[in-house]
Each structure stands twice: as C-alpha cells, then as structure tokens.
Chains A and B, each alone.
Chain A
Amino acid sequence: SQELEQSPQSLIVQEGKNLTINCTSSKTLYGLYWYKQKYGEGLIFLMMLQKGGEEKSHEKITAKLDEKKQQSSLHITASQPSHAGIYLCGADDLKLVFGQGTRLTINP
C-alpha cells in the first residue's frame, strides 16, 4: 500500500520568513492533496495536484508535484501567524492515505 512521509515533522519559523514542507510517496501519485488542520475546524482543503510538474498557488501558498509524481512540496512565502497549524498531504490509493503531518508554528 502507499505510504506518505512528510518532512519536517515540526517547524518553527519567524513571521515573515519563507518555508517549505515536503511530502514523499512510496508509489506514483495520481492525486495528491494538501490539507491544513486547525483544532475545532476540521481539515481545510488547500490544493490538489494531479499532473507531473504541476504547480498551483493560492495566496501565499504554492504547491508543486515533481515530474516523477512521487514528491510534492508546499511552500509558504512571507509566513503569517494565520499560517500556523498542521499541514497534511494525502493521496488516493484505493482509500485516502495521509502523511503524519507537519506542525507549523509562526513566531511573531
């Protein structure tokens, strides 16, 4: 079965700094989701990537899927306190599987 590994597991950055979270799959990805989780709000869908080399942006968040479709990165530019939370990548392999998450803390 497919496994997703995220790195880093935890990240603390100064407000205004850029950061990158990675998600590596044990198998070719045919649909890769990025979610953000805040307690009490459920998971918030950020982006979905399907094609090798695809890149999508929403506000200050950019996600990419590599050409081989086995790795995705999530990049946040000029981080803000509102970006704090747990970021999860997910993939569909008969059932949805998730990475273990990256806990992001933004220091003012």
Chain B
Amino acid sequence: GAGVSQSPSNKVTEKGKDVELRCDPISGHTALYWYRQSLGQGLEFLIYFQGNSAPDKSGLPSDRFSAERTGGSVSTLTIQRTQQEDSAVYLCASSSDRGAYNEQFFGPGTRLTVL
C-alpha cells in the first residue's frame, strides 16, 4: 500500500522567503510527526498531531515555524522568512496511534536548502 509521501523532494530557496512543505500520511493514521535532520546531527522533533487534539508544538525552534493538519490527514509545515540555519532534511512520519509501541512510518523527506 501507499506509504508516507512528502513534497517537494528538494527545495532551494533564498534567505527571507517563505516555504511550505507537504506531508501525506498513511491513510487512517491518526498521529503525524514532523522532524528535521540537520547536517551532522540526529533527528530533531518539531511538532506532533494526534487526531483532533491540540498539536504538540514544543519542538518548533522559532515562531517562524508553523504547521497545520487539515481534515486529520495532509499536513503542511510552513517556514517564514527562511534563514540559512533552516537548511536541513525535513521528515514527516505517521503512526496509527501515539505511544512507544506504535511504529512510525517515515516519508522520504524534503531537502531544504536556504541560500
């Protein structure tokens, strides 16, 4: 079946521009996560959605970052006024539920380069 998909796969933008990254989770998965991986660093949690609950935004690095999830399915991560330090691979994952024992399925990621 279809896995988690993300678009675009690559995005090059100029400093100061806004970007939108899209994630299509696995159908029926109620939990959706955004992570990013910067060069030389491990994965960093950004934000988590679970059903209709308020999202856990504790990982967002600044107020330039925001995310929404429409209709409990597709999610968009928006970065406003991009900075060079925002360059990273942004990964989306979904799982059937929240918790330590529910496998997260990851998308291929969006590689963001801010010039």
Contact = CB atoms under 8 A, between A and B. Distances in A.
A48 B41 contact: no
Given A42-B4, A42-B91, A99 B106 contact: no
B108 A40 contact: yes
Contact of A88 (B4, B43, B101, B108): B43
A31 B103 CA distance: 10
B108 A95 contact: no
B43 A95 contact: no
17 contacts: A30-B100, A31-B99, A31-B101, A33-B103, A41-B108, A42-B106, A42-B107, A43-B91, A45-B104, A45-B105, A48-B101, A50-B100, A95-B58, A96-B33, A96-B43, A98-B35, A98-B42
B48 to A, nearest CB: 6
Q: Name A's interface SS.
A: strand
Size bracket, chain B contacts: 20 to 34
B9 A40 contact: yes
B41 to A, nearest CB: 6
Contacts of A40: 9, 108-109
Interface string B33-68: 101000011110100100000001011000000000
Contacts of A41: 108
A50 B103 CA distance: 12
B108 A31 contact: no
Interface string B14-47: 0000000000000000000101000011110100
A16 B3 CA distance: 32
A3 B68 CA distance: 28
Contact of B45 (A35, A48, A95, A100): A95
A88 B109 CA distance: 15
